C-alpha cells in the first residue's frame, strides 16, 4: 500500500493581542526536515550489502548472540520509522473491557479502544453526570463498568471483511458493542435481555445482516430464578440474533430476536458462507446437564460436564428463524421475542449433529463447504460437510431426538472426515494455500493441516492430513491468520494467542503478561517459524481478527468542526468561533467554549454554588493529531477533544472553590498555558471560602 508523503503546510503564526502565540491549523514544526518525512515503502529499492555492511551486521549479531533465523525474523517484522504495518489486528482486551489494535507484522500496539470500561485518555465515561457512556454501561440500574471482551467480529460484505464496523462481546455481562471504524470509537452497547453472561459473541452473517450472540451457562431466561434441582425444567440456553442496521451503524433491537435452546452450554458460533450461507453453527458442551455441587459430594462440573463422548453441534437455519420471527411465532421473555424450542423443531429451524468431545471451536472453511469442530478432549478435529448435512435433514436421517425433541442427525451421515492433530485442539483458521491451522492447547502448538482434495493443487499434500506443528509458548487459546476466517484468507501471518508466557519475558511480579506470537506461514510444508514474541500486559486477550490495513477508511480528523461522535453528524449545539460565552437561565448555566492551540475561550467561567452547568466544548482544530484534552479536577471530568470534535457535559456545581481546568494533551509549546479557571462562588451568606478551610484541616492531620 503506497502512502504519499505528508502534505506540508507552512506555519501561520498569529500574534494575538494578549501576546500569546496561536498556531492555528499547522503541523508540528520542522516538518521541512527530510529526516522526519514518512518514508513510503515504494521509495525503497533493492539492496545489496557491501562486505563492510555484512561485517557490521555479523558483529551486531555476534555481540547480541543472534543466529541467522533471528536476523531473518527481525527483518520480517521490523518497521522503519514512518512505515505503516500491512495489517491491523483487532484483539479483545479481555478483562480490561477494551479492544486493542495492533499492527502486523511489527506487533506494535496502535491503540486501545475503550468499550466496556471507562477510559480517561479517550474521555470515555468522564463527561459529567449525564455521560451517555456511563448510562449505556448500566445493567438493571447498576453501573457495570468493566467487561470481559471475548470475540471481536469485523463487519463483512459477501463474507469478506469490509472495514466498516467492529463488534465485540462481553462474556461476563452478555453485552454486545458496536465500534465505528471511521473514528474507532464505541457507538452502541446492547445488553442481552435473556441472560446475564454469555460467551459466543460476536459472529456476523456474511453480509452482516445479523450479529450472532451465543450463550454459555444456562440460566432461567430473562434473569429468572429456579433452584438447581429444576435445571432440566427451567434452565435454558439461547442464541440471539442481533439485527444490524448498516445505514445507521447500530444494532436494531426492535428487529432482533433469540432462539430458546436446551440447557446445554452453548459455546462458539460461526456463520455459514458460500455453500452453507443461510446457516449458522453453534457448538455445545455439558449436554450431560450436570449441575455440579462438589460441596454436596457430587462430581464437580468439570467431571460431570465431560462424561459423554458426544455433545451436540447446533445447526440453525437462520433464514427460517427470521421468517418465524417475522410471522410472530415467538414468545416474549423479558420483553424480547424468543422462538421457543417446539417452534424451532416444528419449523425445521434447529437440528443437532453429534460432536466429540467437549468441543470448543466450530469454524467454517472459506468456501463454506465444511465445518471444523475441535473437541478439547479429542485429539482429532471433526469435519462436517454441509452437503451431507442438507441431505440428512432432507431425508430425515435422525439417529434420535434429544430430551427436548430436537432431531439429532446421524453422525456418520454428516461427518466428512476426522483428522488427528494432537492434544487439546481448540480453534481453526485458514490460509490462501489450502491449509487449515488449529490451536493445540495441551500440546502448546499450532498444527497446519491440509484441506480436502479440491485444494490439492495448492497445498500439494495428501488431503485431510497433518502437515506440520510449530511449538508456541505456552498454552495457546485462539489463533488468528490474516483474514483467516473469511471467504478469502490472505495467509502470510498467523498470531498465536498464548495464554501463559512463563519465562519468555522479564518477570513482572506474580502476574505475567500473555504472549502474542507471530508466525510466518507464508511458506508451505513444515516451515512455520515464530518470528516475534509480543507481551500483552493488559487483560487476558481472547480472540482477534486481522484485517488488511488498506481496507480501513479511517478518518484522521472529524469531517466538520462541531462533530458529535455519538451521532456521527454535525451537532447544532456546538458553539462556533465567535459564539463563546456563559449564559444563565435561573440556576441553569450554559458554557459555550472553544479550544484551539493554545487556549480555551473563555478562560474564566464563573458560576454559583448549586448551579446546574451544561458545558459545550468544541475543538476548532482541523489538523491531524492536534488533539486537546480538557479536565476539571475534583469533578471527575476529562475529555479528549480530537480535531473538530464537539462534547457536551453536565454537572452540578455543588462544591464551591477555584478550579483550574487545563488541557491534558501536550499539544504545543504553550500547552501548560492552555488552561483557565472555573470559579464556583459560595452561596450568599455562606462563611468564607470552604476550599481554604478544608485545606487547612487536611494539612493539620
CB of 667 to ligand CUA, least distance (A): 3
CA–CA–CA angle 233, 225, 193 (5° rounding): 100
CB of 186 to ligand CUA, least distance (A): 24
- DSSP bridge partners of 492: none
Q: Which of 166, 632, 667, 678 binds ligand CUA (CB under 6 A)?
A: 667
Q: Cα(113)–Cα(100) distance, rounded to whole angstroms?
A: 6
Q: Are strands 675-681 and 604-608 parallel, antiparallel or unpaired?
A: parallel
Give CB contacts under 8 A, 24+ apart, made by 222-225: 222/193, 222/194, 222/333, 222/334, 222/336, 223/140, 223/194, 223/195, 223/196, 223/334
C-alpha dihedral (333, 335, 336, 342), degrees to nearest 10: 30
CB of 660 to ligand CUA, least distance (A): 13
Using CA atoms, how far residue 549 sits from 104, 167, 481, 685, in Å, is 9, 17, 14, 62
Q: Which stretch binds ligand CUA (CB under 6 A): 69-77, 167-175, 190-198, 664-672?
A: 664-672
CB of 561 to ligand CUA, least distance (A): 16
Q: In the complex with ligand CUA, which residue's Cβ is closer, 28 or 299?
A: 28
Question: Can residue 24 be called a binding residue for ligand CUA (CB under 6 A)?
Answer: no
> How many Cβ atoms are within 10 Å of 161's Cβ, its own excluded?
24
Let me know: does 343 contact 258? Beta carbons within 8 Å.
Answer: no
Contact pattern for ligand CUA over residues 616 through 655, marking x by CB under 6 A: ------------x---------------------------
> How many Cβ atoms are within 10 Å of 321's Cβ, its own excluded?
25
Contact pattern for ligand CUA over residues 60 through 99, marking x by CB under 6 A: ----------------------------------------
CB of 665 to ligand CUA, least distance (A): 5
Let me know: does 124 contact 113? Beta carbons within 8 Å.
Answer: no
Q: Which of 665, 681, 689, 690 binds ligand CUA (CB under 6 A)?
A: 665
Number of residues that bind ligand CUA (CB under 6 A): 8
Q: Restricting to residues 592-621, which ones interact with ligand CUA according to CB under 6 A?
A: 598
Q: In the complex with ligand CUA, which residue's Cβ is closer, 349 or 667?
A: 667
Q: In the complex with ligand CUA, which residue's Cβ is closer, 196 or 675?
A: 675
Residue 299 CA to its chain's centroid (Å)? 36
Q: Which of 287, 618, 674, 680 binds ligand CUA (CB under 6 A)?
A: 674
Q: Which of 246, 329, 548, 671 binds ligand CUA (CB under 6 A)?
A: 671
Q: Cα(253)–Cα(244) distance, rounded to whole angstroms?
A: 8
Q: In the complex with ligand CUA, which residue's Cβ is closer, 78 or 666?
A: 666
Q: In the complex with ligand CUA, which residue's Cβ is closer, 491 or 575?
A: 575
Residues in the chain: 701
CB of 603 to ligand CUA, least distance (A): 13
Most distant CA pair in the chain: distance in Å? 90
Q: In the complex with ligand CUA, which residue's Cβ is closer, 458 or 671?
A: 671
Q: Which stretch binds ligand CUA (CB under 6 A): 24-32, 340-348, 529-537, 662-670?
A: 662-670
Name the burial class of residue 484, with classes exposed (0-12), middle (13-18) and buried (19+) by CB atoms within 10 angstroms of its CB.
buried
CB of 633 to ligand CUA, least distance (A): 16
Q: Residue 265 has which C-alpha cell?
A: 452450554
Q: Which stretch binds ligand CUA (CB under 6 A): 111-119, 120-128, 563-571, 666-674?
A: 666-674
The H or E element containing residue 411 is: helix 411-414
Q: Which of 663, 676, 678, 680 binds ligand CUA (CB under 6 A)?
A: 663
CB of 642 to ligand CUA, least distance (A): 12
CB of 648 to ligand CUA, least distance (A): 19
> How many Cβ atoms are within 10 Å of 34's Cβ, its own excluded?
7
Residues in contact with ligand CUA by CB under 6 A are 598, 628, 663, 665-667, 671, 674
Amino acid at each position: 500500500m503506497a502512502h504519499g508523503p505528508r502534505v506540508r503546510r507552512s506555519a501561520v503564526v498569529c500574534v494575538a493581542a494578549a501576546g500569546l502565540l496561536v498556531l492555528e491549523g499547522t503541523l508540528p514544526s520542522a516538518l521541512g526536515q527530510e529526516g522526519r518525512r514518512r518514508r513510503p515503502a515504494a521509495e525503497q529499492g533493492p539492496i545489496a550489502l557491501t562486505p563492510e555492511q555484512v561485517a557490521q551486521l555479523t558483529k551486531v549479531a555476534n555481540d547480541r548472540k543472534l543466529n541467522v533465523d533471528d536476523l531473518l525474523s527481525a527483518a520480517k517484522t521490523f518497521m522503519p520509522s514512518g512505515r505503516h504495518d500491512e495489517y491491523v489486528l483487532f484483539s479483545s482486551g479481555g478483562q480490561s473491557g477494551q479492544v486493542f489494535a495492533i499492527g502486523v507484522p511489527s506487533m506494535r500496539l496502535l491503540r486501545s479502544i475503550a468499550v466496556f470500561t471507562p477510559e480517561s485518555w479517550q474521555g470515555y465515561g468522564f463527561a459529567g453526570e449525564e455521560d451517555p457512556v456511563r448510562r449505556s454501561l448500566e445493567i438493571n440500574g447498576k453501573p457495570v463498568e468493566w467487561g470481559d471482551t471475548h470475540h471481536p467480529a469485523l463487519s463483512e460484505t459477501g463474507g469478506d471483511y469490509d472495514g466498516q464496523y467492529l463488534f465485540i462481546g462481553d462474556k461476563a455481562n452478555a453485552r454486545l458493542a458496536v465500534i465505528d471504524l471511521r473514528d474507532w470509537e464505541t457507538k452502541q452497547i446492547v445488553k442481552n435481555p435473556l441472560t446475564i453472561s454469555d460467551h459466543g459473541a460476536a459472529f456476523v452473517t456474511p453480509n452482516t445482516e445479523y450479529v450472532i450472540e451465543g450463550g454459555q451457562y444456562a440460566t432461567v431466561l430473562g434473569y429468572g430464578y429456579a433452584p438447581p434441582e429444576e435445571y432440566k425444567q427451567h434452565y435454558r440456553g439461547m442464541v440471539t440474533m442481533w439485527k444490524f442496521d448498516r445505514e445507521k451503524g447500530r444494532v436494531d433491537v426492535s428487529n432482533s430476536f433469540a432462539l430458546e435452546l436446551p440447557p446445554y452450554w452453548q459455546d462458539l458460533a460461526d456463520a455459514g458462507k458460500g455453500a452453507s450461507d443461510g446457516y449458522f453453527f453453534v457448538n455445545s458442551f455439558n449436554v450431560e446437564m450436570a449441575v455440579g455441587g462438589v460441596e454436596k459430594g457430587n462430581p464437580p462440573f468439570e467431571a460431570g460436564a465431560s462424561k459423554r463422548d458426544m455433545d451436540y453441534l447446533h445447526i440453525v437455519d437462520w433464514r427460517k428463524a427470521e421468517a418465524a420471527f417475522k410471522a410472530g411465532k415467538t414468545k416474549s421473555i423479558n420483553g424480547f421475542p424468543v422462538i421457543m424450542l417446539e417452534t424451532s423443531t416444528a419449523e425445521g429451524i434447529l437440528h443437532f449433529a453429534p460432536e466429540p468431545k467437549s468441543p470448543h471451536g466450530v469454524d467454517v472453511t472459506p468456501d463454506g463447504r465444511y465445518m471444523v469442530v475441535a473437541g478439547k478432549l479429542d485429539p482429532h478435529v471433526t469435519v462436517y460437510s454441509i452437503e451431507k448435512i442438507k441431505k440428512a435433514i432432507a431425508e430425515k436421517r435422525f439417529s434420535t431426538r434429544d430430551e427436548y425433541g430436537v432431531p439429532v442427525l446421524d453422525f456418520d451421515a454428516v461427518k466428512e472426515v476426522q483428522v488427528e492433530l494432537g492434544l487439546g485442539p481448540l480453534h481453526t483458521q485458514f490460509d490462501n494455500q489450502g491449509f487449515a491451522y488449529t490451536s493445540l492447547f495441551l500440546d502448546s502448538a499450532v498444527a497446519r493441516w491440509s484441506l480436502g482434495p479440491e485444494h490439492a493443487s495448492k497445498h500439494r499434500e495428501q488431503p485431510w492430513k497433518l502437515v506440520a506443528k510449530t511449538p508456541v509458548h505456552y498454552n495457546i487459546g485462539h489463533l488468528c491468520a490474516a483474514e483467516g476466517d473469511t471467504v478469502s484468507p490472505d495467509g502470510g501471518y498467523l498470531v498465536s494467542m498464548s495464554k501463559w508466557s512463563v519465562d519468555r519475558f522479564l518477570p513482572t511480579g506474580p502476574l505475567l503478561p500473555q504472549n502474542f506470537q507471530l508466525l510466518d506461514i507464508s511458506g508451505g510444508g513444515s516451515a512455520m517459524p515464530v518470528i516475534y514474541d509480543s507481551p500483552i500486559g493488559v487483560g487476558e486477550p481472547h480472540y482477534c481478527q486481522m484485517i488488511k490495513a488498506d481496507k480501513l477508511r479511517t478518518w484522521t480528523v472529524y469531517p466538520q468542526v462541531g462533530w458529535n461522535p455519538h451521532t456521527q453528524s454535525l451537532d447544532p449545539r456546538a458553539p462556533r468561533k465567535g459564539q463563546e460565552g456563559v449564559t444563565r437561565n435561573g440556576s441553569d448555566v450554559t458554557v459555550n467554549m472553544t479550544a484551539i492551540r493554545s487556549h480555551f475561550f473563555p478562560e474564566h467561567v464563573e458560576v454559583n454554588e448549586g448551579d446546574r452547568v451544561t458545558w459545550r466544548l468544541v475543538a476548532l482544530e482541523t489538523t491531524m493529531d492536534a488533539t486537546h484534552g480538557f479536565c476539571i479536577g475534583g469533578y471527575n471530568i476529562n475529555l479528549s477533544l480530537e480535531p473538530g470534535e464537539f462534547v457536551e457535559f453536565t454537572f452540578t456545581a455543588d462544591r464551591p472553590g477555584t478550579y483550574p481546568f487545563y488541557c491534558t494533551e501536550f499539544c504545543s509549546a504553550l500547552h501548560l498555558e492552555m488552561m483557565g479557571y472555573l470559579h464556583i462562588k459560595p452561596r450568599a451568606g455562606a462563611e468564607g471560602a470552604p476550599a481554604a478551610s478544608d485545606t487547612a484541616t487536611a494539612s493539620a492531620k
